[in-house]
Amino acid sequence: MQSSPTSEFPARHRLLLVDGHAFAYRAFFAIRSLSSPDGAATNAIYGFIRMLGRMQPKVKPSHLAVVWDGGLAAERMALLPQYKAQRPEMPRDLELQLDQIVAYLRAAGIVSLLQDSLEADDVIAALTRQAVADGMEVVIASSDKDFMQLVSPDVRLLNPQDKTDTLWGAEEVRAKTGVEPTQIVDWLSLIGDAVDNIPGVSGVGAKTATNLLRQFGSMDGVYQRLEEVHSDRLRVNLKVSEEVVRRNQELVRLKCDVPCGVSLEELACKPGDAVALRGLYARWGFKSLLRELDETRVPAGDFFPETAGAC
Q: How does the average pLDDT of the chain come out, rounded?
A: 91
Confidence bin at 296 (pLDDT 50/70/90):
confident
Three-class SS state of 300: coil
Let me know if the fold of 5-169+255-307 is the same as that of 181-252: no
Q: Is-contact 148 186, C-beta < 8 A?
A: no
pLDDT tens readout for residues 78-129:
999 999 988 889 999 999 999 999 999 999 999 999 999 999 999 999 999 9
Pairwise CA distance, residues 33 & 35, whole Å: 7
Pairwise CA distance, residues 61 & 167, whole Å: 13
Pairwise CA distance, residues 247 & 170, whole Å: 26
| pLDDT at 10 exceeding the cut of 50 | no
| pLDDT at 301 exceeding the cut of 90 | no
pLDDT tens readout for residues 143-165:
999 999 999 999 999 998 888 88
Q: Residue 155's beta-bridge partner residues?
A: 138, 152
Q: What percent of the chain has pLDDT over 70?
A: 92
Pairwise CA distance, residues 236 & 16, whole Å: 44
Closest listed residue to residue 152, CA positions, set 175, 130, 123, 129: 129
Domain boundaries along the sequence of the chain: 5-169+255-307, 181-252
Q: 242-252 vs 232-240: helix axis angle to the nearest 10?
A: 60
3-state secondary structure 126-158: HHHHHHHHCCCEEEEECCCHHHHHHCECCEEEE
Closest listed residue to residue 191, CA positions, set 124, 146, 147, 231: 146
Confidence bin at 5 (pLDDT 50/70/90):
very low
Three-class SS state of 120: helix
Please give the average per-residue pLDDT across 233-253, as a whole number.
Answer: 97
| pLDDT at 19 exceeding the cut of 80 | yes
Please give the average per-residue pLDDT across 173-194, as a whole number.
Answer: 97
> At residue 87, what are phi and psi to the nearest 5 degrees?
-70, 135
Total residue count of the chain as it appears in this document: 311
Residue 11 has a pLDDT of 52
Confidence bin at 297 (pLDDT 50/70/90):
low
Confidence bin at 240 (pLDDT 50/70/90):
very high
Residue 12 has a pLDDT of 77
- For the 5-169+255-307 domain, the top CATH level (class) is alpha beta
3-state secondary structure 20-58: HHHHHHHHHHHCCCCECCCCCECHHHHHHHHHHHHHHHH
Pairwise CA distance, residues 200 & 126, whole Å: 26
Residue 199 has a pLDDT of 96
| Backbone region of residue 165 per phi and psi (left: phi > 0; alpha: psi in -120 to 50; beta: other values) | left
Closest listed residue to residue 63, CA positions, set 120, 140, 8: 140
Homologous superfamily of 181-252: 5' to 3' exonuclease, C-terminal subdomain (1.10.150.20)
Pairwise CA distance, residues 176 & 148, whole Å: 10
Residue 177 has a pLDDT of 97
Please give the average per-residue pLDDT across 295-306, as a whole number.
Answer: 46
| pLDDT at 299 exceeding the cut of 60 | no
Q: 287-296 vs 274-284: helix axis angle to the nearest 10?
A: 160
Beta carbons within 8 Å of 254's beta carbon, 6+ residues apart: 121, 122, 124, 125, 146, 147, 149, 150
